[in-house]
């Protein structure tokens, strides 16, 4: 069964460093999302992406964040200068055209020291 | 805010018992979906119920939706130890299919 994959599973970085989180959505899906979950808290929407552009972003998704679909398969989230409060689990999700379900990847746990 | 809230926050039952979790939300929705998350892991889609549906079944899962009360319930029948996980409801709005609003989750512990 097709699934969303994410790498790495765990990323440890120093405050101020740049990180890139990678996702491979389900191959025929066209809508892509990033969410995050701070430990013990709700899953929060960050950004949605369709047709090579951001369709919506939350207040969390400030200028430090960017997303890209560099090729036909990868979808990346970049955090330019990480802060301690960026420590969280980051989930990628994808959705097919005409479908309402978002399929989530296993997540990347980001730890900022 | 659209975000739903689940109750109870935590539920502990014996294997074989039924588990019922509730979710409430605030604005009109397009769909409501339930996800399971094992500790520290990803979100697994369980079931989707549309705003014009009232009840849906999938294996041991039964979901109800009451749009007048803006609430949904997830019933897991004949629970198993493997059902131990956190369960979240997620809604999307009629005018915005682009993002899910998640509730805070119910942590279910099924004791063998």
Chain B residues closer than 8 Å to A106 by CB: 41-42
Hey, are the CB atoms on B33 and A103 less than 8 Å from each other? no
Give the CATH class of B5-111.
mainly beta
Domain borders along chain B are 5-111
Enumerate chain B positions whose Cβ falls within 8 A of a Cβ in A.
3, 30-31, 33, 35, 40-45, 48, 50, 88, 90, 92, 96-105
- Give the pLDDT confidence of B2-57 residue by residue, as tens digits: 566 788 889 999 999 999 999 999 888 889 999 999 987 889 999 999 999 999 99
Distance from CA of residue B68 to its chain's centroid? 18
> Beta-carbon neighbour count of residue A74 at 10 Å?
13
Q: How many domains does chain A have?
A: 1
The SS3 of residue B81 is helix
Q: Which residues contact A111 (CB under 8 A, 6 or more apart)?
A: A10, A11, A12, A13, A87
- Give the pLDDT confidence of B54-112 residue by residue, as tens digits: 999 999 999 999 999 999 999 999 999 999 999 999 998 766 667 888 988 999 999 99
CATH code of the domain covering residue A32: 2.60.40.10
- Tell me whether residue A108 is in a domain: no
Hey, are the CB atoms on A45 and B99 less than 8 Å from each other? yes
Identify which of A64, A62, A66 has the alpha carbon closest to the alpha carbon of residue A49: A66
Q: Which residues contact A38 (CB under 8 A, 6 or more apart)?
A: A44, A85, A87, A88, A89
């Amino acid at each position: 069964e097709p699934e969303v994959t994410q790498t790495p599973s765990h990323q440890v970085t120093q405050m101020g460093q740049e990180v890139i989180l990678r996702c491979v959505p389900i191959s025929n899906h066209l809508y892509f999302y990033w969410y995050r979950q701070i430990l013990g808290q709700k899953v929060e929407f960050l950004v949605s992406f369709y047709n090579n552009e951001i369709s919506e972003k939350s207040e969390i998704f400030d200028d430090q964040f960017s997303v890209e679909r560099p090729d036909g398969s990868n979808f990346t989230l970049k955090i330019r200068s990480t802060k301690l409060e960026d420590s969280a689990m980051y989930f990628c999700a994808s959705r097919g055209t005409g479908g309402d379900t978002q399929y989530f990847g296993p997540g990347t746990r980001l730890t900022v020291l | 805010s659209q975000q739903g809230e689940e109750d109870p926050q935590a539920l502990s039952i014996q294997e074989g018992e039924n588990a019922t979790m509730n979710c409430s939300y605030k604005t009109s929705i397009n769909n409501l979906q339930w996800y399971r998350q094992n500790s520290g892991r990803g979100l697994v889609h369980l079931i989707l119920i549309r705003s014009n549906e009232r009840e849906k079944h999938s294996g041991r899962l039964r979901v109800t939706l009451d749009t007048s009360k803006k609430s949904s319930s997830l019933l897991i029948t004949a629970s198993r130890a493997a059902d131990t996980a956190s369960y979240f409801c997620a809604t999307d709005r009629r005018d915005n299919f682009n993002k899910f609003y998640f509730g805070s989750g119910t942590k279910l512990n099924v004791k063998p």
